[in-house]
Homo-oligomer: A and B are copies of this chain.
Amino acid sequence: MSDMIDKQGKLKLEIKDFASDQDPRWCPGCGDYAVLSQMKKILPNLGTPKENIVFVSGIGCSSRFPYYVDVFGLHGIHGRAPVIASGIKLANPNLKVFVFTGDGDGLSIGGNHFIHLCRRNIDITVVLFNNRIYGLTKGQYSPTSLKGQITKSSPYGTIENAFNPVQMALASGASFVARSIDRNPKHLAKVLDAASRHKGTSFVEIYQNCVIFNDGTFSKYTDSDKKKDNIIEMNPGEPYIFGANNDKVLNWNGFDFDIEDYDTTKEDSYLRHDERHGHASMEFMLASMSQNNNLPTPIGIFRHENDATYDDNLINQINEVKMKKGVGNLKDLLFSGNTWTVE
C-alpha cells in the first residue's frame, strides 16, 4: 500500500495497478473491451484505494467484467448482482461498489432488483452493457431487442416492445442516470467517471456492440456517416445541437422537441441542458427520444440529483438509536423483560 501514496500523502494509482492476472475472454472486436479500458483509465483517479473497490456482476459476457480488474470481485448469479452489491455496501459503507450487468442480466431476470436498487438510492454504480441480445447463451432476444428482430429464439422476429432502460431508471428513482456508447471512448470515460463519483445509485446504459450475435445494431450511432445525425450529446448548459455539421438544434415547444436549423443569432432562445433541474417532464421526454425515430438519441447525463442515500440513512438511524437508547450491551439485552430467578 505505502508505495501507492505519493509525497503529499495522496493516493497515487496507475492503470497497471488494476491489471488482473486473467486475460479478458471476450470475442475479438466485442464492445466490452472498450468499456474495460475506459474503466481502467478512470479507476486510478477516483481517490479510492484499490482494496476499497468491489465489482459485482451477474451472468453474461458483460458479467465477466470483474475477473479483468484487480479489485475485490463477486461474480454472482444471473440477474442478482444488485442485491449482492446492496449487501456489500450496507455491510461496509466505506466501499465503492460497482455492478456490471447486461440487458438480459439487468433488465430481464434482474429487472426487479434493478428498480428496487434505484428506488432505495443505495450508493452503488450500475453499468449496463446493452447489446440488445443475450450474448453468452448464443443469441436469444432480450428485453431491449428491437421489435421484429430475428434471433435464435425469434426466427420470425420478436413480437415484444423493447424496454427503455433510461426511463426505467428514472421512474424507479435512481439519482444519477446516463447513457454512453462503446465506440465513443472519451464520452464513455467522462460518463463513467461522473457516475463513479456520484453519491447514490448511479446508472449508466452503454450501447455495446456484440459482434457475434447482433453486429451493427447501433451502427446508426457509430458509423461515421450517420452518427452525427442520430446522436445528440447532452452537455450541461449547452443547447441540444447535433447534425453532420452541428447544424441542427432541438427546440422545446412546451410538450415536445422540434428540430430546427441551428442559428447562432438565436442562441439565447435555445433550451439548455440541465441534468440537475429535476423536471420530470424534461427528463422523461429526453429519455423517450431513443425510441422515437424522428428525433436523435441523446447520450450524456439525464439526471444528476443529490438525494439522501439508503446507506447514509441506515448509518444515521443506527447512530440516532444509539444516542437515544445507548450503545447496546449484550447482557442487558438478554436479561431484559420480565425475569425471575430460581435459586
Contacts and interface: CB of A to CB of B under 8 A. Distances in A.
Stoichiometry, as copies per complex, reads 2
Which of A116, A157, A161, A321 is the most central at the interface, judged by chain B CB atoms within 10 Å of its CB?
A161
A5 interface: no
B160 A310 contact: yes
A164 interface: yes
A300 to B, nearest CB: 18
Nearest to A308: B159
B256 A254 contact: no
Given A170-B171, A172-B168, A314 B282 contact: no
Contact of A112 (B112, B281, B307, B317): B112
Interface residues of A, number: 46
A172 B164 CA distance: 7
A283 B285 CA distance: 10
A121 B281 contact: no
A121 B143 CA distance: 13
Contacts of A173: 161, 163-164
Contacts of A235: none
A110 B171 CA distance: 17
A314 B158 CA distance: 9
B111 A116 contact: yes
Contacts of A256: 279, 281
Contacts of A281: 255-256, 281-282, 284-285
A144 B256 CA distance: 30
A333 interface: no
A171 B160 contact: no
Interface in A133-179: 143, 156-157, 159-164, 167-168, 170-173
A78 interface: no
Nearest to A120: B160
Contacts of A56: none
Interface in A220-263: 252, 254-256
B314 A119 contact: no
18 contacts: A109-B112, A112-B115, A119-B143, A119-B163, A120-B161, A121-B161, A159-B313, A161-B173, A161-B307, A164-B171, A167-B171, A168-B171, A171-B171, A255-B282, A256-B279, A280-B285, A281-B281, A281-B282
